[in-house]
Amino acid sequence: MIADYFRIAFRNLRSRGTRSFLTVLGIFIGIASVVALMSMGAGLQKYMDEMYSKVGYDLIMVLPGVGGTMGAGGMAIEPMTSKDQKVIERVRGVDSVAPFIFTVVTFERSGQETRGYLVITPNHLMDGVIERMFGFEVEQGRDFLRSDRDAAVVGVAYTRDKFDKPVRLRSKVDVRGHTFTVVGVMEDFGNEQDNSNFFVPWKKGKEVLGVGDEVSMFYVRPKKGFDPQKVADEVKEELEDSRGKEDFAVNTMAGMAEMAGAAMLAIQGLIVGMAAISLVVGGIGIMNTMYTSVLERTPEIGILKAVGARNGDILAIFLIESGMLGTVGGILGCIVGAGLGLLMGIGATAAGIPAMQPDLGIHLWVGAIGFSFLVGSISGVLPALQAANLHPVEALRYE
């Protein structure tokens, strides 16, 4: 019986091909936009989750400046110093503290100059400090050793288009008259800013910049078994007592991930809300088409009832028909939306933002097609009820 319902519904849609196609367009546009934008949002969320998991959700960052806003050159108006580091190290539950200095400088190679981020790295505290504190791997060569002085580990951008002559292992790069030898190349961070990081050892880097005891930020690792948020709260309390005011910010990676996730959900909700307008218009189109179909097929409905069809049978046929209109629109929308998402991903890669890649998981397809079927079915409820409630004699007499 159910197969007969679908066969009748399909036959009716095919016999009104042009009208059915135009009706489907309303659903198609909304679903295509939802799939394209939601896939990009899901892809970005997936990248962010991977990034946070690499760095570690237990990582705590301490930044100077009101609200964690650093001043020009990466230094705050009242910079943090080794005194603050000692305060943090005394906090119960803190395993290690790594200071970093960030600033934008000019790099020179073979007479050509480019701008990028100089990251002065505390290799005097531990071997492999970049991988241990940032969580990202050195893809070529090696990480820093404690004994390194004139070595450099560079972001992947320097091996691509930062210079006409790409940087390789053992390449020489000058910074303010000091020469560094590249010993490692980082993996792709997924964004141009991080890929432009140029890591140098602590003592040599401070000599290059001519800075004293100031640092840009601290990375703090809590001991195993300690709640990172509680450790962060204690760090904040101790620093406030030591500095006499709260002119710094203490952030946990887990908290940042949670805020980023909430922001992504809000953006995706906005996208769905905007696309819902198109789906409402499409649903109205389906309702209008089904009302027209009821009028055109009134004698046919009368014949079906005359030969024994019940109201429920007529209702099912029209609901399936409207649901099929929504489903076809959903399938076409998914195909086109996936194509648009892939094109946007290609464009993002060409623009140097490889993190913006679509995530076209099966859950997105099932959800979009299922929702489009639901929209179609709901839109067809009133016309289907009208068809089901027609009196067979009046329907047979209708012209």
The pLDDT of residue 257 is 76
In angstroms, the CA 152 to CA 199 distance is 6
Average pLDDT (365-385) is 88
148 — pLDDT class (breaks 50, 70, 90): very high
More confident residue, 94 or 282: 94
- For residue 130, what are the contacts with CB-CB under 8 A and spacing of at least 6? 121, 136, 138, 143, 144, 153, 186, 199
328-346 pLDDT, tens digit each = 888 998 999 899 988 988 8
User: What is the DSSP-derived secondary structure letter of residue 124?
Assistant: T
Amino acid of residue 169: L
Query: In the predicted model, is pLDDT for residue 73 greater than 60?
Result: no
The pLDDT of residue 205 is 92
The pLDDT of residue 74 is 44
47-67 pLDDT, tens digit each = 777 777 766 678 888 988 755
Give, in degrees to the nearest 5, the angle at Cα 308 between 306 and 313. 110
Amino acid of residue 325: L
Query: Is-contact 177 192, C-beta < 8 A?
Result: no
Query: Is-contact 20 102, C-beta < 8 A?
Result: no
- For residue 197, what are the contacts with CB-CB under 8 A and spacing of at least 6? 116, 117, 119, 154, 155, 186, 189
Q: What percentage of the chain exceeds 70 in pLDDT?
A: 89
The pLDDT of residue 183 is 96
In angstroms, the CA 209 to CA 117 distance is 13
222-261 pLDDT, tens digit each = 988 898 889 999 999 999 998 888 888 898 887 877 777 7
The dihedral over CA atoms of 223, 227, 230, 236, expressed in degrees to the nearest 10, equals 40
Six token digits for residue 368 = 């979009």
107-145 pLDDT, tens digit each = 999 889 999 999 999 998 888 888 887 777 899 999 999
